[in-house]
Amino acid sequence: MPGQQTTNHGHYRNMPRKIAVVVPKYGLVGGGERFASEITERLACNEAYDIHVFANRWVASSDRVTFHKVPKVGFPRFLGPLFFAWFVRWKTGRMGFDLVHSHHWIFRADIYSAHGVPHAGWVRDVRKRRPSLYDRAVIAVERKLMRDGANSRFLPVSTLAMQAFRQEYGELPGQWQVVHPGVEVARFATPDRTACRAEIRGRYGIGPTDMLLLFVGMNFEVKGLDTIILALAKARALASEANIHLLVVGRGDEAKYRRLAQSLGIGEAVTFAGTQVAGLERYYRAADAFVLFSRYDTFGMVVLEAMAAGLPVIVSPNVGAKDLVEEGCNGYILPAPQDVEAAAASMAELADAERRTRMGESASQTAAEHDWKRLAENMEQLYRETLSRKSGA
């Protein structure tokens, strides 16, 4: 039996259970990639597990994880997802794993962490295009995992994602449980707020008493930056004494959004800081509130980072992290992604410093419940339950 070894007396001596973790890019940029590496590295410290990662590319940070390269098929492109799934099935089958935990579509997994939504729905409803051969290949692999998933455990990262699967497939196979991503609470909560406010605001010419909204995102259009700027113009009129300012961190068509701000007469109130990787936590600590009005975001880890930094948040109903937002307590959820009036009203309410402080403290408490360490402990419990069920079967 995998995970056990026979002694001369015919009894079994406990051995580390062999765990296969599947993710194309391990330890690299991306929400799913970050989730996979953060959890895996922590579980690898447990001597009860012998963890193997199957990936195309990886950045190793632990000698307790064994890596296996999955060859990448670049041409024809549609063969890529089919080959990845086939190779993982073949390799894990030969090596005899006790548990397979995948963060990517493969043919079969004991645990599947769903960081996105059904691919067919994504292509049809979000990208609004007809599926290519590549898309059809991804959909085929996904459907096989769903079809053969009666004994699998599926872990979508938000209720938004779970609803998308239910809408696409109707009755869902196996067991389903929402497992939100985690956050490195200490990183975002510990930088001195006063020092960060002086440093970051001074760098961009933002006044020490100005109310500062922060946006962090790599796709301005999808993340709803236009709605944020439109709402900002109205909020500045509603709460003129707060001198509300917006700091945009990330990459996108800056010129387009500068023009929008200037056309609304608030060009001086919108500052673009570009992409910031090192020291991003200092930007959160320099701000007063966080905004993200995505057209669609399966989760939105930046929301959880902002809450860990003690910021109240304003999000659209299409941001999966809304699961963590209690209306009026630690943030606001807009009625619709492009509801400029509601967004402006929420921004204006946060002009009240006492309310911001109270809501920021509540946001910090929420984030503390989602520290990566706590999430790893919960995942280990799921591993134990799954291994126990398989042993019983």
DSSP string for residues in 21-86: EE-SEESSSSHHHHHHHHHHHHHHTSTTEEEEEEESEE----TTEEEEE-----SSTTHHHHHHHH
Domain region containing 140:
4-182+372-392
The verdict on 171 and 205 lying in the same domain is no
pLDDT at 335: 96
The verdict on 250 and 288 lying in the same domain is yes
Q: Of the candidates 223, 225, 277, which has an alpha carbon nearest to the alpha carbon of residue 247?
A: 225
Q: Is the pLDDT of residue 87 over 50?
A: yes
The mean pLDDT value for 181-204 works out to 96
The verdict on 281 and 159 lying in the same domain is no
Task: Give the SS3 label for residue 11.
Answer: coil
Q: Is the pLDDT of residue 280 over 80?
A: yes
Give me the CATH number covering residue 314: 3.40.50.2000
CB of 308 closer than 8 Å to CB of 281: no
The verdict on 135 and 251 lying in the same domain is no
Q: Mind listing the pLDDT tens digit for each residue in 204-225?
A: 999 999 999 999 998 899 999 9
pLDDT confidence bin for 391, thresholds 50/70/90 = confident
User: Measured between alpha carbons, how far is 93 from 214 in angstroms, rounded to an integer?
Assistant: 47
pLDDT confidence bin for 393, thresholds 50/70/90 = low
The verdict on 9 and 154 lying in the same domain is yes
Distances (CA, A) of 234 to 245, 255, 311, 352, 377: 12, 21, 21, 16, 45
pLDDT at 39: 93
The verdict on 13 and 58 lying in the same domain is yes
Q: Mind listing the pLDDT tens digit for each residue in 91-127?
A: 999 999 999 999 999 999 999 999 999 999 989 988 8
DSSP code at position 126: I
Q: Is the pLDDT of residue 370 over 50?
A: yes
pLDDT at 61: 76
What is the average pLDDT value for the chain, to the nearest integer? 93
Q: Is the pLDDT of residue 250 over 70?
A: yes
The verdict on 149 and 289 lying in the same domain is no
The mean pLDDT value for 142-152 works out to 95
Percent of the chain with pLDDT over 90: 87
The verdict on 68 and 154 lying in the same domain is yes
The verdict on 42 and 152 lying in the same domain is yes
End-to-end CA distance of the chain: 13
The verdict on 28 and 173 lying in the same domain is yes
| R_g of the chain computed on alpha carbons | 23
Residues forming beta bridges with residue 6, ordered by sequence position: 12
User: Measured between alpha carbons, how far is 219 from 293 in angstroms, rounded to an integer?
Assistant: 12
What is the H or E stretch that residue 372 is in? helix 372-392
Read off the tokens for 109: 């997994």
Angle between helices 79-95 and 133-147 (to 10 degrees): 30
pLDDT confidence bin for 7, thresholds 50/70/90 = very low
Q: Report the number of distinct structural domains present in the chain.
A: 2
The verdict on 177 and 290 lying in the same domain is no
The verdict on 314 and 200 lying in the same domain is yes
pLDDT at 361: 97
